[in-house]
Structures are given as C-alpha cells and as structure tokens.
Amino acid sequence: MNNRKTRWLAALAGIALFTSLTACGTTENSGGGGDQSPSTEPKAGPYKIATIPKVEGITWFDDMKRGVNQFNADNADVEAWQIGPDSEDAAKQVAIVEDLIAQKVDAIVVVPNDPLALEPVLTKARQSGIVVISHEGPALALTEAVDYDLEAFRNEVFGQLMAEKFVEGLGGKTSGTFVGEVGSLTSETHMAWYNAAVAWLAEKYPDIKPVQDKPYEDANDDAKARSNALEILKAYPELSGMLSCSVSAGSNMAQVLKEKNIKTVVLSQLTLPSVAGPYIEEGWIYSGQSWEPAGAGYAANQLALSILKGETIQSGMDLKWQNYDKVEVADKIVVGDAILQFQKGQEPFSGWNGKYPF
C-alpha cells in the first residue's frame, strides 16, 4: 500500500475516533484535541484569502459567495474572493490551487470534490506557507494537506436526521424501499450522511431497505438529477422514498413527482429554502435540511484569518457567524452547530418566501 493511501486510512481512523469522542461529550480540551496552536508564524496584513467551491454557478455556492463577500466587506485588512470550476471536477480544483500557489495568496479555503485527489496539491500549498482550510473534507484533517477542516455539524447527526424524517414521513410504516442520491461517490460528506442514514435505518427499521448498494450520482447537475429521477421512478415503481444528499437530487425528484402526480414517495433531503420552499409547502418534499452556505464560507475565512494572525484555535472560539460562535475543536476539526431543518407547518420553516436569503 502506498504512503498516501496509508495516511488516508489513518485519517479516516482519526475521524472515527473524533466522532466517538464528540458523541460522548468529551471534545472540549480532550486527549490531544481541544486547543491547537497555529501551524505557521503570524503574518502581517493585508491578507489574500481565496475560497474554492465544488462548482460555480449553482444556488448553494452562489450563497457561499455571499458569505465570502460579506467577510471581505467586514475586514479592512483582507482581500477575500471566491473562484471555482465550471463543473464538479477535482482536476479543475487542483489547477485552481496551483494557480493560487503561483499568486502567493495567504490562505485557501476549499470545498473538495474529491479530498484524496486534492491532498497532494493542498500539501504543496501548505509547504509554500499558505494556510489551508477545508470544508466538507474531514478526512483531510489528519493529513498534512490542511491546517483545519471546518464542519457545520457532525455528519453522523445530519445523516441520522435525514433517516428519521424519512421514517416519520412514512406515517407509521415499518417496511419499504428507498433510493439514495449524492453529488458524487467521492464526495466525503455526501457519502457520510448517506451511510449514517442507511446504518440507522438498518438498526432501527431493518425492513426498510435500499434498492441498491450504492446511491445514484448527479454531479450536482440539475439535468442529470432529473434524468436520474425519471430512471428511478421507472425502475422502482413501488418506491417508498428517497434520501437526497445533493440539492439537485431532491428538487428534481420533487418536480418529477409533481408532474406525474405521484404522492406515495417520501422525500427527505439536503436542500435550500429558495430551491425547495414551494415543494415543501405543496407537500412534494416532506423534510429538507441544510446549513447556511454563506455562514460556512464566512466562518471558514474567519478561521483562516485567525491562523494568519497567530491566534490560538480552540474550543469555544467565535468565528463571527451565528451557529459558529462557540465551535468545538478536536484533532484539527472545527465543528459548528448549524443544522437547519425545514418542514411544512413547523418552525423555523413557516412560509419560505422572503424569509431566508439562501
């Protein structure tokens, strides 16, 4: 086994340890994990911080850009901007990182399409003196590729909530079938949510089963997600529900269900209010959940800036955005408390139009 794969397995083992620690409520200053000193010497501003999303031009990362732009406006000593690929392609993200290294930026925030594929170039960036923060890439945290990984929440909790809401939507049924969909099988967080949901269902409701071993992929692309929806409904006419870990998956399935007037499929999914609001109000989507992309963008940039200024990264610190104002820190993973859940007639989702900016 090569060294990179060995390090990757070690990283995954570390993530499992972190999960067990936080589940027991022992994250705060526990075992080698609470407080972390900066990995680089403090630098003088102004600071150049670039954020790389998975892909530009979709609602999710348009909102992340809102947070990055707000961070830039709030900090006079910072030049912060977002630049990403035009398709969900790890190789294109690698090329952007290489260009940013050549520009000698001070920090890079990245939402990796494939964490393993980006590890070498992010390691190169850090070796060049650039601070690197990942978001949705916790397995990078125990490699040399990042200073820290920022998560909006514990991924296992998010996946379990998706499963719980799916079962709730079944209205008391304890058997059935479901299908999953992710942006990519290499998307670490999408797969973490899906696998956590499947594991919870297998334990609590063993007669509610997935129709296939792996979830569908849609590359966070609406056209592909719609094609998948049509294919799924044709292949599995008795389908009970869908667990959608990409925004495109659930909204396009909801659109197809509405067009065909199919009311027997329960959708529990990752989404945004601006995308799913009408479908939730009309009953096509039972439950949506999310976090605010702008908040993640802002908090990740604030984390990078704190490192650049030589501040200690520790549990309880404030990353200047709601639900990231008292983060947990362990083993180079910084975790907020930012899950949002949307359901018709329930708070905080009570009428979608104009209530949320994302």
Question: What pLDDT digit, counting tens, does each position of 300-318 carry?
Answer: 999 999 999 999 999 999 9
Quick one: 124 and 203 in the same domain? no
Quick one: 213 and 250 in the same domain? yes
Q: 151 forms bridges with which residues in the sheet?
A: 335
Closest residue by Cα to residue 330 from 131, 38, 32:
32
Residue 71 lies in a domain: yes
Burial class of residue 116, CB neighbours in 10 A (0-12, 13-18, 19+): buried
Determine the pLDDT at residue 52. Answer: 98
Quick one: 192 and 328 in the same domain? no
Residue 347 lies in a domain: no
Residue 342 lies in a domain: no
Quick one: 138 and 279 in the same domain? no
Residue 176 lies in a domain: yes
Residue 42 lies in a domain: yes
Q: How confident is the model at residue 296 (pLDDT cuts 50, 70, 90)?
A: very high
Quick one: 59 and 41 in the same domain? yes
Determine the pLDDT at residue 358. Answer: 82
Quick one: 175 and 113 in the same domain? no
Taking 90 as the threshold, does the pLDDT of residue 86 lie above it? yes
Residue 135, domain CATH: 3.40.50.2300
Q: Which whole number is the average pLDDT over 246-272? A: 97
Quick one: 19 and 143 in the same domain? yes
Domain that holds residue 39: 3-152+293-337
Q: 37-84: per-residue pLDDT in tens?
A: 444 578 888 999 999 999 999 999 999 999 999 999 999 999 999 999
Quick one: 274 and 322 in the same domain? no
Q: 132-143: per-residue pLDDT in tens?
A: 999 999 999 989
Residue 344 lies in a domain: no
Quick one: 171 and 306 in the same domain? no
Quick one: 27 and 82 in the same domain? yes
What span, in angstroms and rounded, lies between the C-alpha atoms of 179 and 168? Answer: 16
Quick one: 127 and 276 in the same domain? no
Quick one: 131 and 241 in the same domain? no
Higher pLDDT, 349 or 32: 349
The crossing angle, in degrees rounded to 10, of helices 247-260 and 222-235 is 50
Q: Which residues contact 62 (CB under 8 A, 6 or more apart)?
A: none
Domain tally, the chain:
2
What span, in angstroms and rounded, lies between the C-alpha atoms of 52 and 61? Answer: 10
CA distances from 272 to 168, 185, 192, 293 (A): 20, 21, 19, 9
Q: 287 forms bridges with which residues in the sheet?
A: 268
What span, in angstroms and rounded, lies between the C-alpha atoms of 103 and 36? Answer: 28
Considering only 66-80, 216-230, 271-285, which range has the smallest mean pLDDT? 271-285
Residue 346 lies in a domain: no
Residue 358 lies in a domain: no
pTM: 0.85
